[in-house]
A and B are shown apart, each in its own frame.
Chain A
Amino acid sequence: DIQMTQSPSTLSASVGDRVTITCRASQSISRWLAWYQQKPGKAPKPLIYEASVLESGVPSRFSGSTSGTEFILTISSLQPDDFATYYCQQYNDYPLTFGGGTRVEIK
Protein backbone atom coordinates (compact mmCIF):
# COMPACT_ATOMS: atom_id res chain seq x y z
CA ASP A 1 0.00 0.00 0.00
CA ILE A 2 1.12 3.58 -0.64
CA GLN A 3 1.68 5.46 2.61
CA MET A 4 0.98 9.19 2.73
CA THR A 5 2.90 11.12 5.39
CA GLN A 6 1.46 14.56 6.04
CA SER A 7 3.03 17.34 8.14
CA PRO A 8 2.56 19.16 10.34
CA SER A 9 -0.34 17.56 12.18
CA THR A 10 -1.33 20.92 13.66
CA LEU A 11 -0.53 24.41 12.50
CA SER A 12 -1.25 27.65 14.36
CA ALA A 13 -1.48 30.70 12.14
CA SER A 14 -3.03 34.15 11.89
CA VAL A 15 -5.25 35.69 9.26
CA GLY A 16 -3.06 36.88 6.40
CA ASP A 17 -0.28 34.33 7.01
CA ARG A 18 1.17 32.19 4.25
CA VAL A 19 0.67 28.54 5.15
CA THR A 20 2.26 25.41 3.71
CA ILE A 21 1.32 21.79 4.32
CA THR A 22 3.46 18.93 3.07
CA CYS A 23 2.53 15.42 2.02
CA ARG A 24 5.04 12.74 1.07
CA ALA A 25 4.19 9.52 -0.74
CA SER A 26 6.05 6.28 0.04
CA GLN A 27 6.44 5.59 -3.69
CA SER A 28 5.79 7.32 -6.98
CA ILE A 29 2.20 8.37 -7.56
CA SER A 30 2.95 10.61 -10.55
CA ARG A 31 0.61 13.60 -10.13
CA TRP A 32 -2.33 11.61 -8.80
CA LEU A 33 -2.77 13.52 -5.58
CA ALA A 34 -5.73 15.48 -4.25
CA TRP A 35 -6.15 17.89 -1.34
CA TYR A 36 -9.37 18.16 0.66
CA GLN A 37 -10.61 20.63 3.26
CA GLN A 38 -12.86 19.42 6.05
CA LYS A 39 -14.75 21.43 8.62
CA PRO A 40 -16.29 19.89 11.77
CA GLY A 41 -19.40 17.85 11.06
CA LYS A 42 -19.06 18.24 7.30
CA ALA A 43 -17.93 16.05 4.45
CA PRO A 44 -14.51 16.73 2.93
CA LYS A 45 -14.46 19.29 0.15
CA PRO A 46 -12.08 18.83 -2.79
CA LEU A 47 -9.65 21.70 -3.26
CA ILE A 48 -6.98 20.49 -5.67
CA TYR A 49 -6.49 17.45 -7.89
CA GLU A 50 -3.65 16.20 -10.10
CA ALA A 51 -1.36 17.82 -7.54
CA SER A 52 -1.88 21.37 -8.77
CA VAL A 53 -5.25 21.78 -10.53
CA LEU A 54 -7.67 23.96 -8.62
CA GLU A 55 -11.16 22.53 -8.32
CA SER A 56 -13.87 24.80 -9.71
CA GLY A 57 -14.95 27.49 -7.26
CA VAL A 58 -11.90 27.19 -4.99
CA PRO A 59 -10.25 30.55 -4.24
CA SER A 60 -6.97 31.26 -6.01
CA ARG A 61 -5.15 31.72 -2.69
CA PHE A 62 -4.97 27.91 -2.62
CA SER A 63 -2.29 26.27 -4.74
CA GLY A 64 -0.59 22.92 -5.05
CA SER A 65 2.88 21.95 -6.17
CA THR A 66 5.02 18.86 -6.36
CA SER A 67 8.63 17.76 -6.42
CA GLY A 68 9.05 14.04 -6.91
CA THR A 69 7.09 12.29 -4.19
CA GLU A 70 6.65 15.45 -2.11
CA PHE A 71 3.50 17.49 -2.49
CA ILE A 72 2.75 20.90 -1.02
CA LEU A 73 -0.49 22.74 -0.39
CA THR A 74 -0.03 26.49 -0.01
CA ILE A 75 -2.53 29.03 1.22
CA SER A 76 -1.06 32.39 0.21
CA SER A 77 -3.02 34.55 2.66
CA LEU A 78 -5.01 32.70 5.30
CA GLN A 79 -8.62 33.79 5.62
CA PRO A 80 -11.07 33.19 8.51
CA ASP A 81 -12.94 30.60 6.42
CA ASP A 82 -9.73 28.58 5.96
CA PHE A 83 -9.44 27.39 9.54
CA ALA A 84 -10.15 23.69 9.04
CA THR A 85 -8.45 20.32 8.67
CA TYR A 86 -6.70 19.47 5.40
CA TYR A 87 -6.02 16.02 3.98
CA CYS A 88 -3.96 14.80 1.08
CA GLN A 89 -4.97 11.64 -0.76
CA GLN A 90 -3.31 9.57 -3.45
CA TYR A 91 -5.47 8.05 -6.15
CA ASN A 92 -2.73 6.42 -8.19
CA ASP A 93 -3.82 2.99 -7.05
CA TYR A 94 -6.09 1.12 -4.71
CA PRO A 95 -6.23 1.14 -1.78
CA LEU A 96 -6.77 4.88 -1.93
CA THR A 97 -4.85 6.35 1.00
CA PHE A 98 -5.04 9.59 2.92
CA GLY A 99 -2.52 11.56 4.88
CA GLY A 100 -3.13 11.90 8.60
CA GLY A 101 -4.49 15.43 8.27
CA THR A 102 -3.34 18.91 9.23
CA ARG A 103 -5.46 20.98 11.53
CA VAL A 104 -5.07 24.70 10.85
CA GLU A 105 -6.03 26.64 13.95
CA ILE A 106 -6.13 30.26 14.95
CA LYS A 107 -2.95 31.52 16.58
Chain B
Amino acid sequence: EVQLLASGGGLVPPGGSLRLSCAASGFTFSSCAVSWVRQAPGKGLEWVSGISGSGSSKYYAESVKGRSTISRDNSKNTVDLQVSSLSAEDTAVYYCAKRIGDNWGFLDYWGQGTLVTVSS
Protein backbone atom coordinates (compact mmCIF):
# COMPACT_ATOMS: atom_id res chain seq x y z
CA GLU B 1 0.00 0.00 0.00
CA VAL B 2 1.34 3.41 -0.99
CA GLN B 3 1.76 5.77 1.94
CA LEU B 4 3.02 9.33 2.20
CA LEU B 5 3.38 10.80 5.67
CA ALA B 6 4.02 14.52 5.95
CA SER B 7 5.44 15.96 9.16
CA GLY B 8 7.20 19.03 10.51
CA GLY B 9 4.34 21.50 10.66
CA GLY B 10 3.51 23.67 13.62
CA LEU B 11 3.45 27.26 14.87
CA VAL B 12 6.28 29.39 13.51
CA PRO B 13 6.92 33.11 14.14
CA PRO B 14 7.04 35.49 11.19
CA GLY B 15 10.51 35.53 9.72
CA GLY B 16 11.18 32.03 10.97
CA SER B 17 11.92 28.87 9.05
CA LEU B 18 10.77 25.29 9.03
CA ARG B 19 11.62 21.93 7.55
CA LEU B 20 8.86 19.69 6.33
CA SER B 21 9.46 16.01 5.72
CA CYS B 22 7.58 13.44 3.65
CA ALA B 23 8.18 9.76 4.41
CA ALA B 24 7.15 7.36 1.67
CA SER B 25 6.53 3.64 1.46
CA GLY B 26 4.81 1.07 -0.71
CA PHE B 27 6.33 1.98 -4.09
CA THR B 28 9.67 2.32 -5.87
CA PHE B 29 10.54 5.67 -4.37
CA SER B 30 13.48 6.60 -6.60
CA SER B 31 11.31 6.16 -9.71
CA CYS B 32 8.77 8.81 -8.75
CA ALA B 33 8.89 12.58 -8.58
CA VAL B 34 7.44 14.17 -5.46
CA SER B 35 5.77 17.54 -5.08
CA TRP B 36 4.64 19.72 -2.22
CA VAL B 37 1.22 21.34 -2.59
CA ARG B 38 -0.25 23.73 -0.04
CA GLN B 39 -3.70 24.98 0.79
CA ALA B 40 -4.28 28.12 2.81
CA PRO B 41 -7.35 28.07 5.08
CA GLY B 42 -10.49 28.24 2.96
CA LYS B 43 -8.49 28.58 -0.27
CA GLY B 44 -7.57 26.46 -3.25
CA LEU B 45 -4.59 24.26 -3.99
CA GLU B 46 -1.21 25.80 -4.78
CA TRP B 47 1.75 23.78 -6.04
CA VAL B 48 4.89 24.80 -4.11
CA SER B 49 7.85 22.68 -5.15
CA GLY B 50 8.80 19.46 -6.89
CA ILE B 51 11.78 17.15 -7.23
CA SER B 52 12.47 14.41 -9.77
CA GLY B 53 12.94 10.79 -8.77
CA SER B 54 16.72 11.00 -9.00
CA GLY B 55 16.80 14.35 -7.24
CA SER B 56 18.68 15.95 -10.12
CA SER B 57 15.84 18.31 -11.09
CA LYS B 58 14.19 20.69 -8.67
CA TYR B 59 11.37 23.16 -9.23
CA TYR B 60 9.86 25.97 -7.20
CA ALA B 61 6.81 28.23 -7.35
CA GLU B 62 7.56 31.93 -7.59
CA SER B 63 5.96 32.40 -4.18
CA VAL B 64 8.74 30.41 -2.46
CA LYS B 65 11.63 30.66 -4.92
CA GLY B 66 14.81 31.91 -3.33
CA ARG B 67 13.75 31.00 0.19
CA SER B 68 13.03 27.30 -0.22
CA THR B 69 15.07 24.17 -0.80
CA ILE B 70 13.69 20.78 -1.70
CA SER B 71 15.78 17.64 -1.30
CA ARG B 72 15.37 13.90 -1.18
CA ASP B 73 17.16 10.91 0.29
CA ASN B 74 16.38 7.84 -1.78
CA SER B 75 18.10 5.60 0.75
CA LYS B 76 15.60 6.70 3.40
CA ASN B 77 12.57 7.27 1.12
CA THR B 78 12.15 10.84 2.28
CA VAL B 79 11.64 14.25 0.69
CA ASP B 80 12.27 17.42 2.67
CA LEU B 81 11.19 20.99 2.04
CA GLN B 82 12.93 23.78 3.88
CA VAL B 83 11.27 27.20 3.81
CA SER B 84 12.67 30.37 5.36
CA SER B 85 11.54 33.98 5.83
CA LEU B 86 8.04 32.79 6.60
CA SER B 87 5.09 35.17 6.56
CA ALA B 88 1.38 34.86 7.27
CA GLU B 89 0.87 34.09 3.57
CA ASP B 90 2.71 30.79 4.11
CA THR B 91 0.08 29.60 6.60
CA ALA B 92 -1.43 26.49 5.04
CA VAL B 93 -1.78 22.75 5.11
CA TYR B 94 1.18 21.35 3.21
CA TYR B 95 0.63 18.10 1.32
CA CYS B 96 3.27 15.92 -0.23
CA ALA B 97 2.19 13.99 -3.30
CA LYS B 98 3.93 11.66 -5.73
CA ARG B 99 3.83 11.70 -9.49
CA ILE B 100 3.46 8.41 -11.32
CA GLY B 101 6.82 8.74 -13.06
CA ASP B 102 10.38 9.97 -12.60
CA ASN B 103 9.50 13.50 -13.67
CA TRP B 104 6.11 13.20 -15.32
CA GLY B 105 2.54 12.23 -14.69
CA PHE B 106 -0.23 13.41 -12.47
CA LEU B 107 -0.21 13.38 -8.66
CA ASP B 108 -1.62 9.93 -8.00
CA TYR B 109 -1.09 9.63 -4.24
CA TRP B 110 -1.27 12.35 -1.59
CA GLY B 111 -0.24 12.38 2.03
CA GLN B 112 -2.56 13.59 4.77
CA GLY B 113 -0.96 17.01 5.08
CA THR B 114 0.77 18.93 7.86
CA LEU B 115 -0.45 22.31 9.09
CA VAL B 116 1.92 25.26 9.18
CA THR B 117 0.77 28.35 11.05
CA VAL B 118 2.88 31.50 10.84
CA SER B 119 1.98 33.79 13.69
CA SER B 120 3.53 35.65 16.57
Residues of A within 8 A of B (CB): 1, 32, 34, 36, 38, 43-46, 49-50, 55, 87, 89, 91, 94-101
Contact = CB atoms under 8 A, between A and B. Distances in A.
Contacts of A99: 44
Interface of B: 35, 37, 44-47, 50, 59-62, 95, 97, 99, 104-108, 110-113
Nearest to B112: A43
Contacts of B37: 44, 96
B47 A34 contact: no
Contacts of A50: 106
Nearest to B57: A94
Nearest to B100: A49
Given A43-B95, A43-B111, A91-B99, A98 B46 contact: yes
